[in-house]
């Protein structure tokens, strides 16, 4: 199997897409390093992975904290002496209108979704250079390709990710470094529970979009296929693809449909 004995560091492995990727990669007997902030949730995923793979470590890391990322990268390298694949997956979304959202919340969204992957990738690039090879996977979003309502800071952070990692693809500083940007649409994960809102309180609900989203296992399988094929960009989405098509080829329709979303508050907001 392609990922057998490859060392793979996954951020945001305690839940959702990261957890599912870990389980699928464990079944391929990859050697895993599972990173996130919540130790207990990580240990549960680790135990599930150890049913299939002999090597699986956990790493407590907050991707918004530079020291945590630097220390985490060094620790990660010590576990197995190398890293073959970095999956930048940790992220947090948003459910609040732009006009209500304080700049502090936008900064927080940028810290987790943009600066986290940037810091960790920068910390590991020297290692990939020494190895003369490596793979970087970035879980962006369809929100990185268009500005949909209720997600201003999230959209901005994911757009920034696209620009940064597309530059890594075009500069190609290491000949055998492969970078895959993944753009999921709505996936059935608990992501909206922790979504940042205008008040600073987590959203605390499953958004209907996620409730009816693509099954997380299907999404993780598509990501693995894209990684295996070393795709530069992969979209894992349904209606969002059509919306993107309208944005490119018939912008008035994109704005008409997207603006309707302004008046469709996510469940649980009471507005």
In the complex, which residues of this chain contact ligand NAP (CB under 6 A)?
11-12, 14-18, 36-38, 41, 61-64, 89-93, 112, 139, 141, 184, 186-187, 189-191, 194, 210, 213
What would the DSSP string read from start to end of 52-119?
Answer: T-S-EEEEE--TT-HHHHHHHHHHHHHHHS--SEEEE-----B-B-GGG--HHHHHHHHIIIIIHHHH
CB closer to ligand NAP, 69 vs 177 = 69
Q: Is 255 a catalytic residue?
A: no
DSSP 8-state code for residue 213:
S
**Which of 3, 148, 154, 178 does the annotation list as catalytic?**
154
CB closer to ligand NAP, 102 vs 215 = 215
Question: Strands, DSSP E only, in the chain?
Answer: 7-11, 31-36, 56-60, 85-88, 134-139, 177-184, 187-188, 214-215, 233-236
Give 177's strand partners: 134
Kindly state the smallest distance separating residue 84's Cβ from ligand NAP, in Å. 21
CB closer to ligand NAP, 63 vs 177 = 63
Residues 6+ apart with CB under 8 A from 158: 113, 114, 140, 141, 143, 144
CB closer to ligand NAP, 85 vs 92 = 92
Active site residues: 154
């Amino acid at each position: 199997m392609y990922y057998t004995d490859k060392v793979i560091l996954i951020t945001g492995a305690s839940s959702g897409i990261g957890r599912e990727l870990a389980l699928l990669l464990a079944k391929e007997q990859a050697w895993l390093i599972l990173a996130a902030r919540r130790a207990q949730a990580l240990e549960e995923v680790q135990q599930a992975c150890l049913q299939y793979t002999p090597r699986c470590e956990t790493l407590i890391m907050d991707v918004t904290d530079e020291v945590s990322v630097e220390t985490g990268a060094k620790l990660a390298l010590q576990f197995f002496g190398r890293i073959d694949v970095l999956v930048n997956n940790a992220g947090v979304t948003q459910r609040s209108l732009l006009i209500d959202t304080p700049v502090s919340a936008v900064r927080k969204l940028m810290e987790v979704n943009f600066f986290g992957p940037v810091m960790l990738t920068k910390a590991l690039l020297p290692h990939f250079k020494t190895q003369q090879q490596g793979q970087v996977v970035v879980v962006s979003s369809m929100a990185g390709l268009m500005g949909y309502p209720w997600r201003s800071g999230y959209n901005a952070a994911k757009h920034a990710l696209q620009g940064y990692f597309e530059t890594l693809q075009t500069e190609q500083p290491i000949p055998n470094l492969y970078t895959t940007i993944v753009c999921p649409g709505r996936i059935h994960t608990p992501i909206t529970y922790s979504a940042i809102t205008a008040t600073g309180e987590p959203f605390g609900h499953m958004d209907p979009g996620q409730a009816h989203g693509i099954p997380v296992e299907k999404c993780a399988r598509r990501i693995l296929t894209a990684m295996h094929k070393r795709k530069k960009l992969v979209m894992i989405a349904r209606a969002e693809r059509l919306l993107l098509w309208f944005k490119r080829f018939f912008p008035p329709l994109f704005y008409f449909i997207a603006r309707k979303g302004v008046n469709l508050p996510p469940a649980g907001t009471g507005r």
